[in-house]
Amino acid sequence: MRILIVGGGMGGTILANSLARRLSSELKSGKARITMLSASEKHFYQPGLLYLAIGRMTPDELYRDQASLLEPGIEFQVDPVEEFMLDNNCVKTKSGKIIEYDVMVLATGSRMFPEGVPGLAENAEFFYTETSALKMFKRLQSFEGGKVVITVGVPHKCPMAPLEITFMLHDYFKDRGLSDKVKLHYTYPINRVHSLENVAKWAAPEMDHLGITYDTFFNIKEVDGKNQILRSEEGVDIKYDLLIAIPAHKGMEVIEKGGLGANGWVPTNRTKLNMEGRSNVFVCGDTTNIPISKAGSTAHFEADTLAENIAAMVKMGTPVREYDGKVFCFIEAGKDRATYAMFNYLNPPDPKAPTKAMHWFKIAYNKLYWISARGLL
Ligand SMILES: Cc1cc2nc3c(=O)[nH]c(=O)nc-3n(C[C@H](O)[C@H](O)[C@H](O)COP(=O)(O)OP(=O)(O)OC[C@H]3O[C@@H](n4cnc5c(N)ncnc54)[C@H](O)[C@@H]3O)c2cc1C
């Protein structure tokens, strides 16, 4: 069976490694073949961007050579897919190769899309790419006081990042002795401070306690950079001195333009993880349209399910299990406290009071991730 994995990020890598271990004898005998196509020779640990933006990680800590993370037997090529020909079970790559498959997994991730809101890209700081996170840190270093507005669009990857950056900024300015001069204000599109109800119930009192104010039902309409005003669809204007945005995301252009799914989100069966209408195309990670958190842990747990199922398809001709919607997210609550949210389709999260131990667990995980990417954790 020719297995093609498109995307060498969190989901694609964990899946490829787990499959290679499960299918080691089939790979040796030629009964199975695993090919990974990616857009980069580097593997990017995106959660580190949160720390880069406040000067607590450096860019080199966020990357490893992708080939060094992969099990032997996986054929890895840096040659992004430019066209999907699903009816013919093949893809066309940037270098012009046609690659055929029996089973394909789409794991191309997502990207922030600030261009969707007039004035946002030009006037806000971001931390969802290396370049923008570095720029944001330099802006923070020169900021001496005023109103900092953290504004959120949906959907976006990492459900907790907007809350985490808000709490981390609180501590960042406190450490610089600017607490009295900086006012933090947060906006969120629905009628509470987070999409997950229990996370919102936990976070709102934390914000109240720290003196962080917020507007809910605030859907970003436009940014007037000249007058430093953030406007909502609901008719609310907020004056800012520094605007930090987590913009709404889209899937990758190749998915969107190829007609695989509106806005780059592939219609995906929530338990079987196959692309709707296709029994040999599966979807992993951010690029699904499943209405759950777009997080590395989601990609990880989906990859676990897919590895077991695709290996079983090779060995027994049928998948064996279903994805239950499991997600686990750390929530940094400042520079030395954190909590977590663990949930699935049936059980909502129930964040506990933040502790130092959980914060140090997250800091340790930033290093342990490289073991996790290899599918060993
Ligand atoms: C600031 C920030 C903080 C975060 N914090 C957390 C956190 O604390 N916990 C957590 O669980 N998640 C966190 N995340 C989210 C997490 O990083 C993503 O949800 C996760 O990386 C998604 O995995 P993925 O495999 O779907 O996509 P990605 O990891 O983005 O990988 C996509 C891969 O596809 C490749 N690709 C793209 N286009 C093509 C193409 N045309 N052909 C072939 N390959 C292609 C790319 O090169 C890349 O290798 C955070 C993200 C950010 C930005």
Residue 375: what pLDDT? 82
> Which residue, of 208, 227, 249, is where some domain finishes?
249
> Which residue, of 195, 221, 249, is where some domain finishes?
249
Q: Specify whether 130 is located in the same domain as 102.
A: no
Q: Is residue 23 part of a domain?
A: yes
Terminal alpha carbon distance of the chain: 27
Q: Specify whether 228 is located in the same domain as 272.
A: no
Q: Specify whether 228 is located in the same domain as 284.
A: no
Q: Is residue 71 part of a domain?
A: yes
Q: Is 250 helix (H, G, I), strand (E, B) or coil?
A: strand
Q: Specify whether 159 is located in the same domain as 42.
A: no
Q: Is residue 334 part of a domain?
A: no
Q: Specify whether 228 is located in the same domain as 129.
A: yes
Q: Specify whether 228 is located in the same domain as 145.
A: yes
Residue 337: what pLDDT? 95
How many Å lie between the centroid of ligand 1 and the Cα of residue 195? 20
Q: pLDDT class for 377, splitting at 50, 70, 90?
A: confident
Q: Is residue 199 part of a domain?
A: yes
Mean pLDDT across the stretch 185-208?
97
Residue 40: what pLDDT? 98
Q: Specify whether 91 is located in the same domain as 147.
A: no
> Which residue, of 291, 310, 326, is where some domain finishes?
326
Q: Is residue 367 part of a domain?
A: no
Residue 274: what pLDDT? 98
Q: In sequence order, what are the residues at sequence separation of 6 or more whose Cβ sits closer than 8 angstroms to the Cβ of residue 215?
A: 185, 186, 187, 188, 232, 236, 238
How many domains, in total, are found in the chain? 2
Q: Specify whether 61 is located in the same domain as 163.
A: no
Q: Specify whether 187 is located in the same domain as 308.
A: no
How many Å lie between the centroid of ligand 1 and the Cα of residue 157? 8
Residue 16, domain CATH: 3.50.50.60
Which ligand 1 atom sits nearest the alpha carbon of residue 294? 19
Measured CA angle at 278 (ends 272, 284), to 5 deg = 50
Residue 277: what pLDDT? 97
pLDDT digits (tens, 9 = 90+) for 101-111: 999 999 999 99
Q: pLDDT class for 361, splitting at 50, 70, 90?
A: very high
| Closest C-alpha to ligand 1, atom 7 | 47
Q: Is 249 helix (H, G, I), strand (E, B) or coil?
A: strand
Question: Cis before residue 155, ω within 30 degrees of 0?
Answer: yes
| Mean confidence (pLDDT) of the chain | 97
Q: pLDDT class for 179, splitting at 50, 70, 90?
A: very high
Q: Specify whether 129 is located in the same domain as 238.
A: yes
Q: pLDDT class for 334, splitting at 50, 70, 90?
A: confident
Q: Is the pTM of this model over 0.85?
A: yes
Residue-range definition of the domain harbouring residue 224: 112-249
Residue 11: what pLDDT? 98
Q: Specify whether 118 is located in the same domain as 229.
A: yes
pLDDT digits (tens, 9 = 90+) for 205-259: 999 999 999 999 999 999 999 999 999 999 999 999 999 999 999 999 999 999 9
Q: Specify whether 143 is located in the same domain as 74.
A: no
Q: Is residue 354 part of a domain?
A: no
What are the angstrom distances between the C-alpha of 318 and each of 17, 29, 272, 279? 20, 20, 12, 11
Tokens 């507005």 found at: 149
Ligand 1 site residues (CB inside 6 A) read 6-12, 37-40, 46-47, 49-50, 80-81, 107-109, 127-128, 157-158, 161, 252, 254, 285-287, 294-297, 299, 329-330
Give the burial class of 2: count Cβ atoms within 10 A of its Cβ; 0-12 exposed, 13-18 middle, 19 or more buried. Answer: middle
